[in-house]
Structure 1
Amino acid sequence: MEFFKYKNKLKPEKGRLLISEPFLPDPNFERTVVLLCEHNEEGSFGFVVNKPSILKINEVMEDIRILDDTVFVGGPVQQDTLHFLHRNTSIANAVKIRNEIYWGGDFESLLAQLDTATVKPTDIRFYLGYSGWGQGQLESELQEDSWIVCDFVDDELLFDTDPTVIWKKALDNMGGRFSVYSNYPVDPRLN
Protein backbone atom coordinates (compact mmCIF):
# COMPACT_ATOMS: atom_id res chain seq x y z
CA MET A 1 0.00 0.00 0.00
CA GLU A 2 1.76 3.08 -1.27
CA PHE A 3 -0.04 5.48 1.10
CA PHE A 4 1.24 3.50 4.05
CA LYS A 5 4.90 4.57 4.02
CA TYR A 6 6.15 5.65 7.40
CA LYS A 7 9.94 5.56 7.30
CA ASN A 8 10.98 6.44 10.80
CA LYS A 9 14.46 7.66 11.52
CA LEU A 10 15.42 5.24 14.28
CA LYS A 11 17.90 2.51 13.51
CA PRO A 12 17.62 -0.94 15.07
CA GLU A 13 19.80 -1.56 18.10
CA LYS A 14 19.93 -3.63 21.25
CA GLY A 15 17.06 -2.69 23.56
CA ARG A 16 14.78 -1.24 20.91
CA LEU A 17 11.53 -2.72 19.66
CA LEU A 18 10.65 -3.83 16.17
CA ILE A 19 6.93 -3.35 15.61
CA SER A 20 5.49 -5.09 12.58
CA GLU A 21 3.64 -2.82 10.20
CA PRO A 22 -0.13 -3.34 10.26
CA PHE A 23 -0.34 -5.33 7.03
CA LEU A 24 2.82 -7.44 7.22
CA PRO A 25 1.87 -10.60 5.30
CA ASP A 26 4.21 -12.97 7.20
CA PRO A 27 2.03 -15.03 9.61
CA ASN A 28 5.04 -15.52 11.94
CA PHE A 29 5.20 -11.77 12.52
CA GLU A 30 1.65 -10.48 12.03
CA ARG A 31 1.09 -7.66 14.54
CA THR A 32 4.17 -8.61 16.53
CA VAL A 33 6.55 -6.71 18.74
CA VAL A 34 10.14 -7.95 18.93
CA LEU A 35 12.57 -6.85 21.62
CA LEU A 36 16.00 -6.73 20.01
CA CYS A 37 18.59 -8.35 22.26
CA GLU A 38 21.44 -7.96 19.79
CA HIS A 39 22.04 -6.05 16.58
CA ASN A 40 25.39 -5.78 14.85
CA GLU A 41 26.98 -6.17 11.41
CA GLU A 42 26.64 -9.97 11.63
CA GLY A 43 22.89 -9.94 12.22
CA SER A 44 20.18 -9.46 14.81
CA PHE A 45 18.11 -11.47 17.24
CA GLY A 46 15.36 -10.90 19.74
CA PHE A 47 12.11 -12.24 21.12
CA VAL A 48 8.51 -11.69 20.07
CA VAL A 49 7.05 -10.36 23.31
CA ASN A 50 3.34 -10.48 22.51
CA LYS A 51 2.59 -14.01 21.23
CA PRO A 52 1.64 -16.41 24.03
CA SER A 53 1.70 -20.11 23.21
CA ILE A 54 -0.76 -22.72 24.48
CA LEU A 55 1.91 -24.18 26.79
CA LYS A 56 2.63 -23.48 30.44
CA ILE A 57 6.19 -23.31 31.72
CA ASN A 58 5.68 -26.26 34.08
CA GLU A 59 4.67 -28.34 31.04
CA VAL A 60 7.88 -27.41 29.23
CA MET A 61 10.34 -27.62 32.15
CA GLU A 62 9.82 -30.13 34.94
CA ASP A 63 12.27 -28.17 37.12
CA ILE A 64 9.84 -25.26 37.27
CA ARG A 65 6.89 -26.90 38.99
CA ILE A 66 5.83 -23.89 41.00
CA LEU A 67 5.01 -21.75 37.95
CA ASP A 68 2.12 -22.27 35.61
CA ASP A 69 2.69 -19.12 33.57
CA THR A 70 2.24 -19.17 29.81
CA VAL A 71 5.30 -19.63 27.62
CA PHE A 72 5.59 -17.20 24.72
CA VAL A 73 6.59 -17.94 21.14
CA GLY A 74 9.86 -16.02 20.86
CA GLY A 75 10.04 -16.50 17.12
CA PRO A 76 10.33 -19.09 14.38
CA VAL A 77 14.02 -19.96 14.94
CA GLN A 78 15.00 -22.96 17.12
CA GLN A 79 11.64 -23.38 18.81
CA ASP A 80 13.09 -26.27 20.79
CA THR A 81 15.13 -23.80 22.90
CA LEU A 82 13.88 -22.02 26.01
CA HIS A 83 14.91 -18.45 26.83
CA PHE A 84 13.82 -15.95 29.44
CA LEU A 85 13.58 -12.21 29.88
CA HIS A 86 13.33 -10.77 33.37
CA ARG A 87 13.66 -7.67 35.50
CA ASN A 88 15.73 -9.11 38.31
CA THR A 89 19.24 -7.79 38.88
CA SER A 90 20.28 -10.68 41.13
CA ILE A 91 20.25 -13.49 38.54
CA ALA A 92 23.89 -14.27 37.89
CA ASN A 93 25.31 -13.76 34.38
CA ALA A 94 22.19 -12.05 33.04
CA VAL A 95 22.69 -9.78 30.04
CA LYS A 96 21.31 -6.29 30.51
CA ILE A 97 19.24 -5.36 27.47
CA ARG A 98 17.92 -2.01 28.61
CA ASN A 99 17.07 -0.27 31.89
CA GLU A 100 15.33 -2.95 33.98
CA ILE A 101 15.19 -5.60 31.24
CA TYR A 102 17.56 -8.58 31.27
CA TRP A 103 18.00 -11.67 29.12
CA GLY A 104 18.93 -15.08 30.47
CA GLY A 105 21.50 -15.73 33.12
CA ASP A 106 22.39 -18.66 35.30
CA PHE A 107 19.43 -21.05 35.17
CA GLU A 108 20.28 -22.66 38.54
CA SER A 109 20.29 -19.19 40.09
CA LEU A 110 16.86 -18.56 38.58
CA LEU A 111 15.49 -21.86 39.90
CA ALA A 112 16.83 -21.16 43.40
CA GLN A 113 15.28 -17.70 43.39
CA LEU A 114 11.96 -19.06 42.18
CA ASP A 115 12.01 -21.67 44.98
CA THR A 116 12.68 -18.98 47.60
CA ALA A 117 10.23 -16.51 46.01
CA THR A 118 12.95 -13.87 45.56
CA VAL A 119 11.94 -13.73 41.89
CA LYS A 120 8.28 -12.98 41.38
CA PRO A 121 6.46 -14.73 38.52
CA THR A 122 5.46 -11.29 37.20
CA ASP A 123 9.15 -10.42 36.76
CA ILE A 124 9.94 -13.15 34.25
CA ARG A 125 8.72 -14.34 30.86
CA PHE A 126 9.76 -17.52 29.08
CA TYR A 127 10.11 -17.89 25.30
CA LEU A 128 10.35 -20.89 23.01
CA GLY A 129 12.60 -20.03 20.09
CA TYR A 130 13.71 -16.62 18.96
CA SER A 131 13.56 -14.24 16.03
CA GLY A 132 16.75 -13.91 14.02
CA TRP A 133 18.06 -12.08 10.99
CA GLY A 134 21.26 -12.72 9.07
CA GLN A 135 23.70 -10.08 7.93
CA GLY A 136 21.81 -7.25 6.20
CA GLN A 137 18.47 -9.07 6.35
CA LEU A 138 16.82 -6.79 8.92
CA GLU A 139 18.05 -3.68 7.12
CA SER A 140 16.47 -5.01 3.93
CA GLU A 141 13.16 -5.59 5.72
CA LEU A 142 13.32 -2.06 7.13
CA GLN A 143 13.79 -0.68 3.61
CA GLU A 144 10.63 -2.58 2.62
CA ASP A 145 8.76 -0.94 5.53
CA SER A 146 8.08 -4.27 7.22
CA TRP A 147 9.09 -2.93 10.65
CA ILE A 148 8.82 0.23 12.69
CA VAL A 149 11.70 0.80 15.11
CA CYS A 150 10.60 2.02 18.54
CA ASP A 151 12.69 3.38 21.39
CA PHE A 152 9.83 3.65 23.93
CA VAL A 153 10.61 0.44 25.81
CA ASP A 154 10.18 -0.21 29.49
CA ASP A 155 9.74 -3.21 31.72
CA GLU A 156 6.06 -2.36 32.30
CA LEU A 157 5.29 -2.80 28.60
CA LEU A 158 6.99 -6.20 28.50
CA PHE A 159 5.96 -7.69 31.84
CA ASP A 160 2.80 -5.91 33.03
CA THR A 161 0.88 -5.29 29.81
CA ASP A 162 -1.64 -7.77 28.48
CA PRO A 163 0.14 -9.39 25.50
CA THR A 164 -2.92 -8.88 23.29
CA VAL A 165 -2.50 -5.09 23.50
CA ILE A 166 1.31 -4.71 23.43
CA TRP A 167 1.38 -4.08 19.66
CA LYS A 168 -1.25 -1.34 19.92
CA LYS A 169 0.23 0.18 23.08
CA ALA A 170 3.75 0.28 21.62
CA LEU A 171 2.49 2.21 18.58
CA ASP A 172 0.33 4.48 20.75
CA ASN A 173 3.39 5.26 22.91
CA MET A 174 5.16 6.54 19.78
CA GLY A 175 2.37 9.06 19.20
CA GLY A 176 1.56 10.96 16.02
CA ARG A 177 0.93 8.93 12.90
CA PHE A 178 1.96 5.72 14.69
CA SER A 179 -1.06 6.08 17.00
CA VAL A 180 -3.22 6.14 13.88
CA TYR A 181 -1.59 2.91 12.65
CA SER A 182 -2.39 1.24 15.96
CA ASN A 183 -6.09 1.52 15.14
CA TYR A 184 -5.91 -0.04 11.67
CA PRO A 185 -8.18 -3.07 11.46
CA VAL A 186 -6.56 -6.47 10.90
CA ASP A 187 -8.58 -6.82 7.70
CA PRO A 188 -9.61 -3.41 6.26
CA ARG A 189 -12.23 -5.11 4.07
CA LEU A 190 -14.19 -5.87 7.24
CA ASN A 191 -14.23 -2.24 8.33
Structure 2
Amino acid sequence: MKTQIPRTGSILISFPTSNTGDRLFSRSVILLAECNSKGSVGFILNKPLGIAISDLIPYIETDLQIYRGGPVESDKVFFIHNVPHLIHDSSPITENLFWGGDFDELVSLLNQGLIDDSNVAFYLGYSGWDCDQLNNEIEDDYWIVDNRPFPSYRLNQLQPEFWRKHLLELDDKYAIWANAAENPELN
Protein backbone atom coordinates (compact mmCIF):
# COMPACT_ATOMS: atom_id res chain seq x y z
CA MET A 1 0.00 0.00 0.00
CA LYS A 2 1.30 3.44 -0.91
CA THR A 3 1.98 5.65 2.10
CA GLN A 4 -0.15 8.77 2.23
CA ILE A 5 1.64 12.05 2.84
CA PRO A 6 0.13 13.93 5.81
CA ARG A 7 -0.89 17.56 5.42
CA THR A 8 -2.82 20.16 7.36
CA GLY A 9 -6.35 18.76 7.72
CA SER A 10 -5.28 15.11 7.49
CA ILE A 11 -6.64 12.58 9.94
CA LEU A 12 -4.23 10.15 11.60
CA ILE A 13 -5.74 6.89 12.76
CA SER A 14 -3.68 4.74 15.09
CA PHE A 15 -3.63 1.01 15.22
CA PRO A 16 -4.62 -0.54 18.57
CA THR A 17 -1.68 -1.30 20.79
CA SER A 18 -1.14 -3.10 24.05
CA ASN A 19 2.15 -1.26 24.59
CA THR A 20 1.60 0.66 27.83
CA GLY A 21 3.87 3.46 26.62
CA ASP A 22 1.56 4.09 23.67
CA ARG A 23 -1.77 3.91 25.53
CA LEU A 24 -2.51 7.59 24.91
CA PHE A 25 -2.33 7.10 21.16
CA SER A 26 -3.85 3.63 21.01
CA ARG A 27 -7.18 3.82 19.16
CA SER A 28 -6.71 7.53 18.53
CA VAL A 29 -8.07 9.69 15.75
CA ILE A 30 -5.96 12.83 15.38
CA LEU A 31 -6.79 15.88 13.29
CA LEU A 32 -3.64 17.63 12.03
CA ALA A 33 -4.23 21.35 12.59
CA GLU A 34 -0.85 22.22 11.13
CA CYS A 35 1.57 20.16 9.08
CA ASN A 36 4.56 21.65 7.30
CA SER A 37 8.32 21.26 6.90
CA LYS A 38 8.90 22.46 10.49
CA GLY A 39 6.63 19.88 12.09
CA SER A 40 3.04 19.01 12.88
CA VAL A 41 0.42 19.89 15.49
CA GLY A 42 -2.71 17.80 15.98
CA PHE A 43 -5.50 17.08 18.42
CA ILE A 44 -6.75 13.66 19.53
CA LEU A 45 -10.44 13.85 18.63
CA ASN A 46 -11.83 10.86 20.50
CA LYS A 47 -10.42 10.83 24.04
CA PRO A 48 -12.90 12.63 26.33
CA LEU A 49 -11.53 13.47 29.77
CA GLY A 50 -14.88 13.27 31.55
CA ILE A 51 -14.78 16.92 32.58
CA ALA A 52 -16.48 20.01 31.21
CA ILE A 53 -14.82 23.22 30.08
CA SER A 54 -16.66 25.02 32.92
CA ASP A 55 -14.81 22.78 35.41
CA LEU A 56 -11.52 24.30 34.25
CA ILE A 57 -12.69 27.80 33.34
CA PRO A 58 -15.58 28.73 35.66
CA TYR A 59 -16.56 31.88 33.75
CA ILE A 60 -17.55 29.73 30.77
CA GLU A 61 -21.20 28.91 31.35
CA THR A 62 -21.48 25.68 29.41
CA ASP A 63 -20.72 22.06 30.14
CA LEU A 64 -19.05 21.16 26.84
CA GLN A 65 -16.75 18.14 27.09
CA ILE A 66 -12.96 18.54 27.12
CA TYR A 67 -10.87 16.02 25.20
CA ARG A 68 -7.28 14.97 25.74
CA GLY A 69 -5.56 16.68 22.80
CA GLY A 70 -2.18 15.15 23.44
CA PRO A 71 0.81 15.12 25.76
CA VAL A 72 2.32 18.48 24.75
CA GLU A 73 1.35 21.54 26.83
CA SER A 74 -1.24 19.43 28.60
CA ASP A 75 -1.95 22.27 31.03
CA LYS A 76 -3.33 24.52 28.26
CA VAL A 77 -6.76 24.55 26.59
CA PHE A 78 -6.96 24.59 22.79
CA PHE A 79 -10.02 24.57 20.56
CA ILE A 80 -11.14 23.82 17.03
CA HIS A 81 -14.29 25.28 15.54
CA ASN A 82 -16.31 25.91 12.39
CA VAL A 83 -17.27 29.56 12.97
CA PRO A 84 -14.31 31.72 11.83
CA HIS A 85 -16.72 34.52 10.93
CA LEU A 86 -17.54 34.73 14.66
CA ILE A 87 -14.11 33.98 16.17
CA HIS A 88 -11.43 36.22 14.71
CA ASP A 89 -7.74 35.38 14.35
CA SER A 90 -8.46 31.69 13.73
CA SER A 91 -6.07 29.52 11.74
CA PRO A 92 -7.55 27.39 8.94
CA ILE A 93 -7.28 23.61 9.07
CA THR A 94 -9.67 22.80 6.23
CA GLU A 95 -12.20 24.84 4.32
CA ASN A 96 -14.69 24.45 7.19
CA LEU A 97 -12.51 23.86 10.27
CA PHE A 98 -10.27 26.25 12.17
CA TRP A 99 -8.24 26.26 15.36
CA GLY A 100 -7.59 28.92 17.93
CA GLY A 101 -8.66 32.50 17.65
CA ASP A 102 -9.94 35.22 19.97
CA PHE A 103 -10.72 33.39 23.22
CA ASP A 104 -12.79 36.27 24.64
CA GLU A 105 -15.07 36.14 21.58
CA LEU A 106 -15.40 32.39 22.01
CA VAL A 107 -16.37 32.74 25.69
CA SER A 108 -18.94 35.43 24.87
CA LEU A 109 -20.50 33.30 22.11
CA LEU A 110 -20.69 30.26 24.39
CA ASN A 111 -22.16 32.20 27.30
CA GLN A 112 -24.80 33.74 25.03
CA GLY A 113 -25.71 30.31 23.68
CA LEU A 114 -24.82 31.36 20.12
CA ILE A 115 -22.53 28.36 19.57
CA ASP A 116 -22.51 24.84 20.99
CA ASP A 117 -20.80 21.45 20.60
CA SER A 118 -21.68 21.38 16.91
CA ASN A 119 -19.44 24.44 16.50
CA VAL A 120 -16.52 23.98 18.89
CA ALA A 121 -14.49 21.26 20.62
CA PHE A 122 -11.98 21.78 23.45
CA TYR A 123 -8.67 19.99 23.99
CA LEU A 124 -6.27 19.87 26.89
CA GLY A 125 -2.83 19.75 25.30
CA TYR A 126 -1.90 18.79 21.77
CA SER A 127 0.06 16.16 19.88
CA GLY A 128 3.22 17.37 18.18
CA TRP A 129 5.96 16.02 15.93
CA ASP A 130 9.17 17.53 14.59
CA CYS A 131 9.78 17.71 10.84
CA ASP A 132 10.77 14.05 10.30
CA GLN A 133 9.22 12.34 13.31
CA LEU A 134 5.68 12.02 11.95
CA ASN A 135 6.82 10.77 8.54
CA ASN A 136 9.00 8.16 10.27
CA GLU A 137 6.07 7.00 12.41
CA ILE A 138 3.89 6.70 9.30
CA GLU A 139 6.60 4.68 7.53
CA ASP A 140 6.78 2.42 10.61
CA ASP A 141 3.01 1.82 10.39
CA TYR A 142 2.03 3.65 13.57
CA TRP A 143 -0.53 5.70 11.68
CA ILE A 144 -2.98 5.41 8.80
CA VAL A 145 -3.26 8.75 7.01
CA ASP A 146 -6.71 9.78 5.82
CA ASN A 147 -6.58 12.83 3.57
CA ARG A 148 -10.33 13.04 2.99
CA PRO A 149 -11.76 16.33 4.29
CA PHE A 150 -12.99 16.02 7.87
CA PRO A 151 -16.60 17.23 7.97
CA SER A 152 -17.07 19.99 10.53
CA TYR A 153 -20.52 18.64 11.45
CA ARG A 154 -18.75 15.74 13.17
CA LEU A 155 -17.48 17.96 15.99
CA ASN A 156 -20.24 16.72 18.28
CA GLN A 157 -19.69 13.04 17.35
CA LEU A 158 -16.24 12.65 18.89
CA GLN A 159 -16.68 9.82 21.37
CA PRO A 160 -14.29 6.89 21.97
CA GLU A 161 -16.16 4.71 19.41
CA PHE A 162 -15.32 7.32 16.75
CA TRP A 163 -12.00 5.49 16.17
CA ARG A 164 -13.75 2.26 15.22
CA LYS A 165 -16.35 3.99 13.04
CA HIS A 166 -13.75 6.06 11.20
CA LEU A 167 -11.51 3.05 10.64
CA LEU A 168 -14.38 1.05 9.12
CA GLU A 169 -15.43 4.01 6.94
CA LEU A 170 -11.90 4.15 5.58
CA ASP A 171 -11.67 0.54 4.34
CA ASP A 172 -13.11 -2.88 5.18
CA LYS A 173 -9.58 -4.28 5.30
CA TYR A 174 -9.21 -2.60 8.72
CA ALA A 175 -12.16 -4.53 10.18
CA ILE A 176 -9.84 -6.91 12.03
CA TRP A 177 -8.30 -3.92 13.84
CA ALA A 178 -11.62 -2.17 14.38
CA ASN A 179 -13.09 -5.29 15.97
CA ALA A 180 -10.05 -6.23 18.07
CA ALA A 181 -10.50 -6.31 21.83
CA GLU A 182 -9.29 -3.16 23.54
CA ASN A 183 -7.32 -5.26 25.99
CA PRO A 184 -6.24 -8.49 24.22
CA GLU A 185 -5.15 -9.98 27.55
CA LEU A 186 -8.82 -10.21 28.54
CA ASN A 187 -9.70 -12.44 25.56
TM-score by length of 1: 0.87
Q: Distance in 1 between matches of 2:15 and 2:30?
A: 12
Q: Does 1:71 align with 2:37?
A: no
Partner of 1:154: 151
User: Does the Cα contact within 8 Å between 2:79 and 2:100 map onto a contact in 1?
Assistant: yes
Q: 1:103 to 1:24 in 2, by over 3 A?
A: farther
Residue 47 of structure 2 is aligned to residue 51 of structure 1 = yes
1:59-138 to structure 2, matched below 5 A, reads 59-64=55-60, 66-90=61-85, 91-138=87-134
Letter in 1 for 2:112: T
RMSD between superposed Cα atoms in Å: 1.8
C-alpha displacement of 1:135: 2.2
Deviations 1:10-46 (A, max 9, x none): 2111001111112363012111111001111211111
Hey, what's the Cα distance between the residues in 2 that align with 1:176 and 1:168? 11
Counterpart Cα distance in 2 of 1:100 and 1:58: 26
Q: Which moved more, 1:55-64 or 1:29-38?
A: 55-64
3-state SS in 2 of match to 1:35: strand
Q: What corresponds to 1:181 in structure 2?
A: 177
Q: Residue 188 of structure 1: CA displacement? A: 3.9
Post-superposition offset of 1:62: 2.3
Kindly indicate whether the alpha-carbon contact (under 8 Å) linking 1:24 and 1:146 is maintained by their aligned counterparts in 2: no
**Structure 2: 5+ residue runs without aligned partners?**
none
Structure 1 ranges of 4+ moved more than 3 A: 187-191
TM-score w.r.t. length of structure 2: 0.89
From 12, 17, 42, give the equivalent of 2:11.
17
Structure 1 residue ranges without an equivalent (≥5) = 1-6
- Cα distance in 1, alignment partners of residues 75 and 94 from structure 2: 26
